[in-house]
A = this chain, B = another copy of it.
Amino acid sequence: MAASQTSLEEFYGREIILADRELVETGADQILKDADTEDIAFLVVGDVFGATTHTDLVIRARELGIKVEAIHNASVMNAVGACGLQLYQFGQTVSLVFFTDSWKPDSFYNKIMENRKIGLHTLLLLDIKVKEQSIENMARGRLIYEPPRYMDIATAASQLLEIEEIRNEQAYTPDTPCVAVSRLGSPTQTFKAGTLKELSQYDSGEPLHSLVMLGRQVHDLELEYLYQYVDNKEEFKKFVEKDQEFFKPPPYVPPEEDELNWEYSD
């Protein structure tokens, strides 16, 4: 995503056709044309199978008898380990889309709740709006695109807090510890750990960004790594400890004598 079309063409020594979302979603026939006899490469950002559209493209190719070979790449789903949280401690990944005045989809809320109930971290992927039309232009059939928009950390954290305020089921709170992940894998990669409330005021700079919400199962080694990215180590530790009380399994209470022998009581 950081490389220009020209530099990619120089690197590969071949012409490159930009495949935007429209082409990938509706132009599968065009992409697969002649791919049974010629070598056609389909370059993607991140991992090949990160998007259902790509899986769909493979299915179509196989139906046409076109041989497909995938060369895997790092993606945010595994590179996020760079923040110091262990990948096997992550639950399902969720997506956060830009709210509008009338549209505030909150399906992520239940998913975060599910992850947090079993103590797992949640990777939140933040909305990217590229080549989007305004409703007016779409209605008038004008192919004029809005400038690209990338959700930043402050917006993501604010939207999360807005939904918690409405639902109030404490899937998370303003004090829940999170990690802001900015420009992952690039030379200006930055991490910032803090509470959700703190991050709602964080200036995360240039895109792209992701957010990780911590789960209860955070290990000492993970925490030690995160301390590099906090303003105040002691304070952050307190928030982590406080957060660990959420969804904590109840302490073990040994059964009463008569409960153990209930089969024999009358």
Contacts and interface: CB of A to CB of B under 8 A. Distances in A.
Interface of A: 47-50, 52, 55-56, 58-59, 62, 70, 72-75, 77-79, 81-82, 84, 86-95, 114, 118, 120, 185, 221, 224-225, 228
Contact of A78 (B62, B78, B120, B185): B78
A95 to B, nearest CB: 8
A58 B224 CA distance: 11
27 contacts: A47-B78, A47-B81, A47-B87, A48-B82, A50-B78, A52-B86, A55-B81, A55-B84, A55-B86, A55-B225, A56-B221, A59-B224, A59-B225, A72-B74, A74-B74, A74-B75, A74-B78, A75-B87, A77-B78, A78-B78, A87-B93, A88-B92, A88-B93, A89-B92, A90-B92, A91-B91, A92-B120
Contacts of A114: 118
A86 B58 CA distance: 14
Q: A58, A87, A95 — which one has the most chain B CB atoms within 10 A of its CB?
A: A87
A81 to B, nearest CB: 3
B81 A48 contact: yes
Q: A50, A59, A75, A95 — which one has the most chain B CB atoms within 10 A of its CB?
A: A75
A115 to B, nearest CB: 8
Contacts of A118: 92, 114, 118
Nearest to A56: B221
A221 B57 CA distance: 11
A62 B73 CA distance: 27
A77 to B, nearest CB: 5
A52 B86 CA distance: 7
A124 to B, nearest CB: 11
Q: A55, A70, A74, A78 — which one has the most chain B CB atoms within 10 A of its CB?
A: A78
Contact of A94 (B56, B62, B88, B92): B88
A78 B72 contact: yes
Contacts of A72: 74, 78-79, 82, 185
Contacts of A94: 88
A1 to B, nearest CB: 14
Contacts of A90: 92
